[in-house]
Amino acid sequence: MSSMPESTDFAVREVARKAAVATAGPTGVGVFIDSAIEEEGVTAYNFQCKLKGYPDWRWSVLMFSDGVEAPTVSEVLLLPTGESLQAPAWVPWSERLADYQALQAELEAAAAEAAESAESDSDEVEDENENFVDFDEDDSALSTDVNEPIDAKNDANDAGRKLPGFNLLKLLRGKKKK
């Protein structure tokens, strides 16, 4: 730890934190970890690194102070720790190749299944098109689809209005913006 008084050390630590934030951005710097005297007048302040892709790394800010003038920032470094440089467990090539081949076989099977379902869907669409009624060709299809009760027709004739079913097209088209 540092041999500076606590209030002076806190002020210098805040200057070091601001230097790290200026380098890494406000979300890239975490909590204060520790400080260590590197040489006479040079102290390193270490902060947690929160940057994506840098787990277990630290921001190290080197501050210089000659005791007469205010401390100055010497360097801002991103340093790895022992845990951050460990390589993943080694996997033999034969196992990695087997995993790759199994994945390729699975993808080919899924593609074949998708192609079969697309063929069966196109057959179903052709069957549905056989029952399709084109309303432009046969206007009588409109009257067969709407089943109005006889009382509603009589009421409409008495009132001199159109049947409610004829407003269906207007409703389906939506209201036009004025």
pLDDT digits (tens, 9 = 90+) for 46-68: 999 999 889 889 999 999 988 88
* Cβ atoms of 68 and 45 closer than 8 Å: no
pLDDT tens digit sequence for 105-152: 999 999 999 998 888 776 665 555 566 566 555 555 455 555 555 665
Residue 125: burial class (beta carbons within 10 Å; 0-12, 13-18, 19+): exposed
- The kind and range of the H/E element at 109 are helix 93-130
Question: pLDDT tens, 70-99?
Answer: 889 999 999 998 888 777 788 898 888 999
The structural domains of the chain, with segments of one domain joined by +, span: 6-80
Torsion over CA: 86, 84, 76, 63 (sign): negative
